Structure 1
């Protein structure tokens, strides 16, 4: 929107400069009139270039864009490439690459969980997940930006781990593969949500890999 205002100011300035050039009648002032006309034309060209630059957006590989303006969200995702958008629209960008939790260099979170005997346990997991680019407009509308998506994924991980662990006894700790599969399935299921004001269920993200690190 700021770009449109700037372009409008340039066009207005070009208009007044053109009027000033037209008002010059004397023979000796012709060079000044010519300079003013060139200045007016230059301002118009700059304004047009500013608007054109603001109507194109480059979506990089591994990204998807969501276009929104005046409280409305376009349901057509902007896939990688050069995309044309209205100059008054804003673009929210999301990564479509695999994300990892916990991120590299971040301390592993020990999730508090209970066994089927209600015994407290510390569970450490790591997970890879990815959003569906075609669902990006719905995700942005219902969840929000990338930080809010990561928060929703983290809540799903905690829920999946706790709901999975409570299905097993303390004596089942040796069944790590089976426990991990149960937790993965429940985490992936928790990533399907139905917002209170939504029109139907949708998937926030998909689990692409699940690792049970420690029990």
Structure 2
């Protein structure tokens, strides 16, 4: 009986060694696959580092196989992002008059997928570098304008100037500027009131100019209308002087309407030229037929 016990223990030990080896092999295989397979999302690009060296070609969205253990993949977003400098991080600058101005700024940008390795290797913490450059440009650009320019339609021009300058500097590094927005402008209260008063005065002047132009156009219209009426009266007068028979014809036409029951009778003085039977230039109180209303 003592001879059988060592045989059983040896069998159990062998099975445990086999199981342990299988588990180790499985873990090694899983680790190998996890290190060699990389999935890049649609909204990002992969920067490949082999033994710490950044490779020129980035990994595009999809499944990729890389050399395990010695390869590191850094994911960088390629969608449009917004860098905001608001609140305590707002922009402070001086205008061309030397007045201090504070404002919030939002810069929208995205990384060129093909230049992601260059962005990583050249800048790495690119947002820190971007913010310092944005603030420097803000001081330079605002110094070229007056305080009131930030309140008027020139603000769009200033924003476009910001966008152009930032894009010119950032694009060679692979960072594309899509928009720059200036908001919440804060000036000394006295300056702000003066600017507001100037804007209101300008608006009132434009309104008065519109009123004057409107009155001038109305006067021209009335003058043209009066000329038209005078010309029409002149034409009618000449026509009646040259065609007295027309008045008689019209009178007879009214008589015809009266006969049909479409007119009424009143008694008025009528020149002899309009009614047969009255001699000379005398007038007579005779019935005149007028259309009913």
Q: How many residues align?
A: 176
Asked whether the equivalents of residues 108 and 124 of structure 1 are also in contact (C-alpha less than 8 Å), the reply is: no
**Structure 2: tracts of 5 or more residues without a match:** 1-5, 186-293
TM-score (norm 1): 0.70
Write the mapping of 1:46-57 to structure 2, written as runs, cut at 5 A.
46-57=27-38
Partner of 1:176: 155
Report whether the alignment pairs 1:150 with 2:127.
yes
**1:4-54 deviation digits (Å, cap 9, x = unpaired):** xxxxxxxxxxxxxxxxxxxxxx98756754654454345334322321221
Alpha-carbon contact 1:66-1:73 (below 8 Å) kept: yes
Residue-by-residue CA offset, 1:76-96 (whole Å, 9 max, x unaligned)? 112222121221212212111
Written as runs of structure 1 = structure 2, the 5 A alignment for 1:9-88 is 29=10, 32-33=13-14, 36-37=17-18, 39-87=20-68, 88=70
Task: Tell whether 2:180 aligns with 1:213.
Answer: no
Conserved? CA contact 1:129–1:208, under 8 Å: yes
Q: 1:34 to 1:172 in 2, by over 3 A?
A: closer
2:89 is paired with a residue of what secondary structure? coil
Consecutive unaligned residues in structure 1, runs of 5 or more: 1-25, 193-201
The structure whose RCO (Cα within 8 Å, separation 6+) is larger is 1
Q: Secondary structure at the match of 2:87?
A: coil
Change (3 A) 1:183 1:35: closer
How does 1:63-142 map onto structure 2 within 5 Å?
A: 63-87=44-68, 88-102=70-84, 107=87, 109-142=89-122
Deviates more, 1:57-66 or 1:31-40: 31-40
**Contact 2:90/2:103 (8 A) holds in 1:** yes
| Maintained 8 Å contact 1:153/1:205 | no
> Contact between 2:104 and 2:183, CA under 8 Å: does it hold in 1?
yes
* Greater Rg by CA: 2
**Larger % of helix: which?**
2
Deviation at 1:189, TM superposition (A): 2.3
The alignment yields a C-alpha RMSD, in angstroms, of 2.6
Q: Distance in 2 between matches of 1:124 and 1:30?
A: 76
Under a length normalisation based on structure 2, what TM-score does the superposition of the two structures give? Answer: 0.53
How far is the alpha carbon of 1:115 from its aligned partner? 2.0
How far apart are 1:108 and its partner, in Å?
Answer: 6.6
Structure 2: how far apart are the matches of 1:71 and 1:184?
Answer: 35
